[in-house]
Amino acid sequence: MPRYVAILASLDTKSEEAAFLREVVEAEGAQPLVVDTGVLGRPGIPADVAREEVARAAGTTLDEIIRRGDKSHALVAMAEGAGRILLRLLAEGQLGGVLSVGGSRGTALGTRVMQALPVGIPKLMVSTMASGPNPFGPYVGTKDVTLMHSVADISGVNSVTRPIFANAARAIAAMSKAGAPVAKGKPRVLAATMLGASTALVEQIRRAMTTPQCEVIAFHAVGTGGRAMEELVAQGLMDGVFDVSPTELLAHLVGGPFSAGPDRMRAAGERGIPQVVAPGALDFIIEGPPESLPSRYAGRKTMRHTPTITLVRSSPDEMRAVARLIAERLAASRGPAAIVIPLRGFSAFSTEGQPLHDAESDRAFVDAIRNRAPARVEVVEVDAALNDPLVAETAVRLMRDMGCV
């Protein structure tokens, strides 16, 4: 039996578009399921999943939502209901993908539902909002939400929107046959956190660990990447983590735009899988352009990374704070953990002679982690810089010692 392609639409205003999408999806041999997420007005075409049913799935009723008269509440409730219905279909093996079209409200609702689904299930949002100064973050979150710009406003099927909707409908139909939630492609899957400044290290680790039985997946530690990794670890996809660029912890403690929130470096400990931690890229705080730097950074070493990114050298106090946080996280871990410390610089930018070199701050981290790391966590100091092969070799050995080969 073909799996459903869910089409999310507010059928009071977007029925013409939904009917067109349904027709194309069906013509492609996929099974459309029109879910009405609208609240006001009357549906222009019959839904496969009625708005009343969506409201009920959210634990409320359509009448109650209308009575409250709060548009934002209605959006959240209908997204919640639609999300639960799709997760149920997914659990039954009946969901192939999700397609939605909308303006600002439709996009907020559609992508909220999509973000509730696992990576790998195709998610396609055709939107007026996928343009201009709008940021990706709210619509994409940590998932593989795909956004297609509608170019014209979404008000009817016309010479501009017809080819775009047709592309979207055929794309989701094709993806629904190919797509599936992420699953292990090899017996052993390891995660690694990475930044430009630690890419060389991660590449060496990846090369050393990659075998027909094992693969390493890198996550860009700029907020989204760390959160995506935590989620995939929590889902059970990973067998071990090389958390060698835990810079999002520093952002969480100190500042800068790239925090991954308060829950970084928790999931591996909770799952009890092995972790190798290194202070990679903890030698700097990632901030915006120079003119935006908070005054508390006055007098620090800084480095212009791109026109919009400035790296600010982390202080001894900040190093101690982040060392404490790492020690706490590892103490709470149910699984084994080890730490490798490169004594000659935590990134390519702070080795001797480089702009962010600061032996005193680095030392503060080493002393604090030595004092506070639980006894069962092996701490290995390496007389080399982060991207030196010695560090990669040590990290790989520690992971293997913990049973991850």
Partner 1 sequence: MAKKIAIIGTLDTKGPEVAYIRDLIRARGRDTIVIDPGVLGRPTIAADVSREEVARAGGADLASLIAAGDKGRAMQVMIEGTTTILARLYAEGEVGGAIAVGGGQGTAIGATAMQALPIGVPKVMVSTIASGRNVFEPYVGTTDMTLMHSVADILGVNAVTRRVFGNAAAAVVAMADANEAVQDSGKVAIGVTMLGLTTPCVLRAKERLEAWGYEIVGFHANGTGGRCLERLVREGLIQGVMDISTQELTGHVCRGLFDAGPERMTAAAELGLPLVATPAGTDYIVLGPLSSLSEEHKKRPLIVHNPNITLVRTARDEMAEVGRLMARRLNAAKGRAAVLIPMGGFSFSDRPGHAFYDPDADAALVEALEAELNPRVELRKIGAHVNDETFADAVAEKMQAFMEG
**Binders in 41-60 for partner 1, by CB under 8 A:** none
Q: Which of 171, 285, 369, 384 binds partner 1 (CB under 8 A)?
A: 171
Residue closer to partner 1 (CB basis): 268 or 319: 268
Residue closer to partner 1 (CB basis): 209 or 369: 209
Angle, alpha carbons 60-52-3 (nearest 5°): 110
Identify the burial level of 29 via C-beta atoms within 10 angstroms of its C-beta, where 0-12 means exposed, 13-18 middle and 19 or more buried. exposed
User: From residue 228, how far is each of 120, 223, 317 by CA, in Å?
Assistant: 13, 9, 29
Q: Does 331 bind partner 1 (CB under 8 A)?
A: no
Per residue, what are the HEC states of 259-292? Answer: CCCCCCCCHHHHHCCCEEECCCCCCEEEECCHHH
Q: Which of 20, 219, 242, 346 binds partner 1 (CB under 8 A)?
A: 219
Q: Does 224 bind partner 1 (CB under 8 A)?
A: yes
Q: Does 265 bind partner 1 (CB under 8 A)?
A: no
Residues 57-116 that bind partner 1 (CB under 8 A): none
- Tracing tokens 């999509």 back to the chain, one arrives at 114
Residue closer to partner 1 (CB basis): 172 or 278: 172
* Cβ–Cβ under 8 Å, residues 299 and 286: no
Q: Which of 149, 304, 334, 376 binds partner 1 (CB under 8 A)?
A: 149
Q: Which of 220, 300, 324, 400 binds partner 1 (CB under 8 A)?
A: 220
Q: Which of 61, 131, 213, 371 binds partner 1 (CB under 8 A)?
A: 131
Name the one range near partner 1 by CB under 8 A: 62-70, 160-168, 248-256, 375-383: 160-168
Sign of CA dihedral 21, 36, 2, 89: positive
Residue closer to partner 1 (CB basis): 21 or 373: 21
Q: Does 303 bind partner 1 (CB under 8 A)?
A: no
* Cβ–Cβ under 8 Å, residues 148 and 167: yes
Q: How many residues form the binding site for partner 1 (CB under 8 A)? A: 81
Q: Does 315 bind partner 1 (CB under 8 A)?
A: no
Residues 178-207 that bind partner 1 (CB under 8 A): 178-186, 189, 194, 202-203, 206
Q: Which two tokens stand for residue 243?
A: 């958390």
Q: Does 153 bind partner 1 (CB under 8 A)?
A: yes
Name the one range near partner 1 by CB under 8 A: 57-65, 74-82, 123-131, 357-365: 123-131
Q: Which two tokens stand for residue 251?
A: 């952002």
* Cβ–Cβ under 8 Å, residues 2 and 96: yes
In the complex, the smallest distance separating the C-beta of residue 357 from partner 1, rounded to whole angstroms, is: 23
Q: Is 189 helix (H, G, I), strand (E, B) or coil?
A: strand
Q: Does 19 bind partner 1 (CB under 8 A)?
A: no
User: From residue 335, how far is each of 187, 202, 273, 275, 347 by CA, in Å?
Assistant: 19, 22, 5, 8, 27
Q: Which of 50, 166, 234, 343 binds partner 1 (CB under 8 A)?
A: 166
Name the one range near partner 1 by CB under 8 A: 173-181, 274-282, 323-331, 362-370: 173-181
CA dist 8 and 27 (Å) reads 18
Q: Which of 12, 19, 26, 28 binds partner 1 (CB under 8 A)?
A: 28
Q: Which of 101, 169, 338, 339 binds partner 1 (CB under 8 A)?
A: 169
- Tracing tokens 């297609």 back to the chain, one arrives at 148
Q: Which of 76, 87, 89, 174 binds partner 1 (CB under 8 A)?
A: 174
Amino acid 78 reads M
Q: Does 262 bind partner 1 (CB under 8 A)?
A: no
Angle, alpha carbons 163-165-167 (nearest 5°): 65
Residues 266-295 that bind partner 1 (CB under 8 A): none
CB 358: neighbour CB atoms within 10 A? 21
